Chains A and B, each alone.
Chain A
Amino acid sequence: MAGVEITNLTKQYLVAGEEFYALKDVSTVIPDGSFTVIVGRSGCGKTTLLRLLGNLEEKSAGRIRLGDGGSKAGGRRIGMVFQEHRLMPWLSVKENMAFSCTRQEQRDRTERLVAKYLRVLGLEKFQDAYPAQLSGGMAQRVALGRTLCYDPDIILMDEPFGALDYFTRQRLQREIVDLFLAQKKTIVFVTHDVTEAVYLGQKIIVMDAGEVVRELPVDLPYLRDPASPEFLAVQREILSSLRGDQT
């Protein structure tokens, strides 16, 4: 139940000769098999935190411990879903989903996973289409499928629905909850949308100016009703912890 332990994590840049802290002394725990949401306004460091977890950037100081990897040897696999779909334009939907497969001996396994997630995500009809022929929501589904076919232990999602319209977004939020309930993977989801955070998260980490300002568990059962008083109470609590400095 160790999950991901983050201790005193710091990331600083030099911007025009001045030191800038994207992350400052962040310590928190992401429980195994949980749906954790990191929420905050733009530039609060939430994406930096996610990219450090995904090994896409070098930390300046601190520690990230990815737990013991359960029964698997050689640590954990981390998959990332980006804000843009980032599909390879030259590969079909099916080929994009199999993208993470690099070795011949994984081929059968990947093929099974691709078939499974094409079905789960409702993409079977589009399996031979190219990304340019897909709508934004479809493309983001494929991107999610690509990461799922990598079969990661931890899925990192960086505002994956940020560029989608309201209706598509709502649908995908429901789908991701269904997937989470069915797959039991650890998900870390970054968003600036407080409603989305409360709709999805079992644990919500509120960030501001490179620091964690609040962590709160959300015990509401899925699927949650955004109009219910409990939902609104959590939402209010998050907002109140962010009220400090309005920009």
Chain B
Amino acid sequence: MLKMTTTKVLRGLYLPAVIILVWIAGSWLAAWNSYIIPPPGEVLAALTKLLADGVLAKHVLVSLYRVFAGFLAAFLLAFPLGVAVGMSSRCNDYLQPTLEFIRHVPPLAAMPMLILWFGIGEWPKLLIVILATFFPIFLNTLHGVASCDVKLVEVGKSFGLSKGETFRRIVFPAALPSVLVGMRLGLGYSWRALVGAELIAASSGIGYMILDAEQLARPDVVVLGILTIGVLGSLIDGLFLRLTKLAIPWKESEEADYGRG
């Protein structure tokens, strides 16, 4: 079992290794302009410098804070609403068209409006994250609650469970895997949308760091920024997946269905 996972992890490392080798070799042989693709040495130097003076850490922490604050707020909105709409078809009738409309507007398209309303402070960024995260959590919660097997609900009825108990002991655990899938998707979306928002209007954060480096003609820092985004995104996702597996241990035996949707 352990050997299997090690082999799998190794397989996934081949392609990055090849890319890095090509990068090193190409830079060494001066196969391309070092301004367009900065050599790995320069990017490493930028990394050491920005780590040493704390600039990278500052931008990363600011971005992470925005993602988590926005994610939390979105969850607090989306989860109860998803449950309410999932449990009542009438609620669904009222809300469906409006939500469908908002769903099709990319969060970044709202950025100019948000800047107009709130200035370029923290609010537009938080709202972008909320907008990006809300729908995956809401829709997956809704789906999870609405598709709870009525046969299981009937079991609760046959044991005389109250409505609250039925929700807590049957509907909620049945919906949990779906809710977690939504949260995981939302986390990914929020990260992407945030960096976008920071590229448009910000004075801190990873997105801002990239934009600033572009204006200062520092491609090494741009590459560093992109790599940081990718690595952080993967780490967050990996961490969340771990937590998910702990939260729904019964799914392991059922052939996990993560990453759908």
Contacts and interface: CB of A to CB of B under 8 A. Distances in A.
Interface residues of A, number: 20
A55 B158 CA distance: 7
List the 5 closest A-B pairs by CB distance, nearest first. A80-B158, A100-B159, A90-B173, A132-B253, A130-B250
A133 B176 contact: no
12 contacts: A56-B154, A79-B159, A80-B155, A80-B158, A84-B151, A86-B152, A90-B173, A90-B176, A99-B159, A130-B249, A130-B250, A130-B254
B108 interface: no
Interface string A30-69: 0000000000000000000000001110000000000000
Contact of B151 (A82, A132, A150): A82
A159 to B, nearest CB: 14
A78 B157 CA distance: 11
A70 interface: no
Contacts of A86: 151-152, 154-155
A89 B249 CA distance: 10
A172 interface: no
Contact of B155 (A78, A82, A133): A82
B64 interface: no
A211 to B, nearest CB: 26
A88 B250 CA distance: 10
A121 B158 CA distance: 22
A103 to B, nearest CB: 10
A181 B249 CA distance: 39
Nearest to A100: B159
B56 interface: no
Contacts of A56: 154, 157-158
A130 B253 contact: yes
Contacts of A84: 151
A133 B157 CA distance: 26
A90 B158 contact: no
Contact of A132 (B160, B176, B248, B250): B250
A88 B151 contact: no
B250 A89 contact: yes
Interface of B: 151-152, 154-155, 157-161, 165, 169-170, 173-174, 176, 248-250, 253-254
Contacts of B249: 130
A85 B179 CA distance: 25
Contacts of A54: 158
A102 interface: yes
Given A90-B174, A102-B160, 7 more contacts: A79-B159, A82-B155, A86-B151, A86-B152, A91-B250, A102-B159, A102-B165
Of listed A79, A80, A88, residue having the most chain B CB within 10 A = A88
A164 B173 CA distance: 28
B161 A89 contact: no
A78 B154 CA distance: 14
Contacts of B254: 89, 130, 132
A95 to B, nearest CB: 10
A88 B170 contact: yes
A243 to B, nearest CB: 34
Contact of A150 (B159, B169, B250): B159
A100 to B, nearest CB: 4
Contact of A88 (B160, B165, B173, B248): B173
Contacts of B250: 89-91, 130, 132
Given A86-B152, A90-B176, A133 B165 contact: no
Contacts of B165: 102
Contacts of A133: 253
A7 B9 CA distance: 68
Contacts of B151: 82, 84, 86
A167 B154 CA distance: 29
Interface in A225-246: none
A149 to B, nearest CB: 10
Nearest to B172: A90
B239 to A, nearest CB: 22
Contacts of B155: 80, 82, 86, 88, 99
Contacts of A150: 159
Of listed B248, B250, B253, residue having the most chain A CB within 10 A = B250
A55 B157 CA distance: 9
B152 to A, nearest CB: 6
